[in-house]
Amino acid sequence: MVRRIRGPLPAVALVLVVLLAGCSGLPATDRQESASEPTVENFSYPSGWSQDGIADVPVALETHEATVNNTSRRSRLSIIDEDSNRTTVRAVDTESGTASVRWSDTLFGSDVHSYYSAEGVFEYDRTTGELTRRLDENWTQDRVASHERLRLQRSLSELEANATETVTVEGTTAVRYNVTGIKDPLRVPAHNATGNVVVTEKGYIAEFNITRGNDGFTRQTRHDVSEFGNATVTRPAWMPEE
């Protein structure tokens, strides 16, 4: 029969317990707890945003623009209807002072690529092979992004949305919203909306995928910003050498 030890531990056992405790690392009182993961409750919402959705669309867009202005980045905006797909890809390289815009429309068969530099604006029609050079055009980075601003506003207006989770976008914390509907259908030409929106703690809209519609139409709008802070614009092969 095995007898259980009762009473004080023998001296050898006490020494063994002390040695094992020393191998466990720092004392419990000195151990550092790992930083807690960000949540939708403690996320640092940028101006124009809240846990309950888009608090103010104009302010949210101002915050977005203030964050991306003078920053190299690439963005894609696609508007998909039942009979067409219009996609615009913009790239801004602040280091070289260049930019490019490629616009395509499946409905009309258009595919135009523009390149902006100190030498002027070069526009190449990939469908016809025609190259247009506007050497005296005074372009700015803000002008390159101006059309995108209007599309973003139309896409985000009157959305019902709520923050559902935090994610990481290119090394920065962001929050993802679930789009559940339209706040006031009388103010926009849509009765329903679904999708998601991702905005970073820095304040720029990293991406969204929103489908709006009513009994007469359905439209999907997709947007994303990539290579934030390190995008480059290379000289197109079709651009003539000076």
Q: Quickly list DSSP for 43-69.
A: --PPTTEETTEES-HHHHHHHHHHHHT
Q: Which two tokens stand for residue 69?
A: 């202005």
Q: At what angle do helices 141-156 and 57-68 cross, to 10 degrees?
A: 150
Neighbours of 150 (CB within 10 A): 10
Alpha-carbon distances, residue 136 vs 60, 120, 123, 124 (angstroms): 35, 6, 13, 17
Q: What's the predicted TM-score (pTM) here?
A: 0.81
Taking a C-beta distance cutoff of 8 angstroms, is the pair 160, 169 a contact?
A: no
Q: Please, what's the b/e burial string for 47-58 (b: 16 or more CB within 10 A of its CB; e: otherwise)? A: ebbebebbeebe
What pLDDT is stored for residue 4 in this prediction? 37
Give percent of the chain with pLDDT exceeding 70: 85
Query: CA angle 151-78-47, nearest 5°?
Result: 45
Taking a C-beta distance cutoff of 8 angstroms, is the pair 180, 167 a contact?
A: no
Beta bridge partners of 43: none
- Range 184-206 average pLDDT: 94
The rounded distance, in Å, linking the Cα atoms of 196 and 198 is 7
Lowest mean pLDDT among 4-18, 66-80, 199-213: 4-18
pLDDT 10s digits, 101-110: 999 999 889 9
Q: Which two tokens stand for residue 43?
A: 């996320």
- Range 127-144 average pLDDT: 84
What pLDDT is stored for residue 242 in this prediction? 67
Laid out side by side, the sheet with 218-226 consists of: 131-134, 120-125, 110-117, 98-105, 85-93, 73-80, 218-226, 205-213, 192-200, 172-182, 159-169
CA 114 to chain centroid:
24
